[in-house]
Structure 1
Amino acid sequence: MILDQHIKKWFESKKGTDSNLKSLMKSISWRIVGTIDTIVISFIVTGQLTMALSIGSVEVVSKILLYYLHERVWESATKTKEHEPEKEYARS
């Protein structure tokens, strides 16, 4: 409780926005939650803890790679090309 206010300052940015550190921490915590979910489901399906842990360890690496590729595709698909003029819309 004593460190609470000091730690909060690490995550504060402009009002209404997350800091880069907070976004990074949220990404890591979400990946941990997702991997635990995969391990639990794998254990329920296979009934083998070692198999579930193996699936979870492969999944964490593959999901990071897939997310990176997904981001790169979105970046290239939404990038405005320099030689293309911006579209102008009719004004009413």
Structure 2
Amino acid sequence: MDQAKPSRSFVKTMTWRLIATTDTFILTFFAARWIGADMGISGGEATSLAATVASLEIVTKMLLYYIHERGWARLDWGMMHNPSG
């Protein structure tokens, strides 16, 4: 069975987290700006909230993704096999 190395999973984890955390920051920022405007949340507070949410979720979701990736790396399902290897 062809398997992914742990270093490959780690790099995939890091690049995915960069994309996903940027998305979380943008969504939180705009939600706080648009919805928060009715609750008196200023632009600076929206930025602070977005940064806080993005900072908290980056660690937990990176760990969960890595565990998920390594679990999938152990499965044969959906893998292509190299007959010469």
**Corresponding residue for residue 62 of structure 1:** 64
**Is this contact kept in 1: 2:9–2:70, CA < 8 A?**
no
Letter in 2 for 1:50: T
Counterpart residue number, 1:44: 26
Assess, with a 3 A threshold, how the Cα gap between structure 1 residues 59 and 30 changes in structure 2: closer, same or farther. Answer: same
After TM superposition, give the deviation of residue 36 of structure 1 in Å: 1.0
Separation of aligned partners in 2, 1:27 and 1:69: 10
Larger radius of gyration: 1
Higher helix proportion (structure 1 or 2): 2
* Unmatched 5+ stretches in structure 1: 1-22, 79-92
* Percent identical residues: 13
Structure 2: distance between partners of 1:60 and 1:28 = 9
1:1-92 aligned at under 5 Å gives the runs: 26-47=8-29, 48-72=50-74, 74-75=75-76
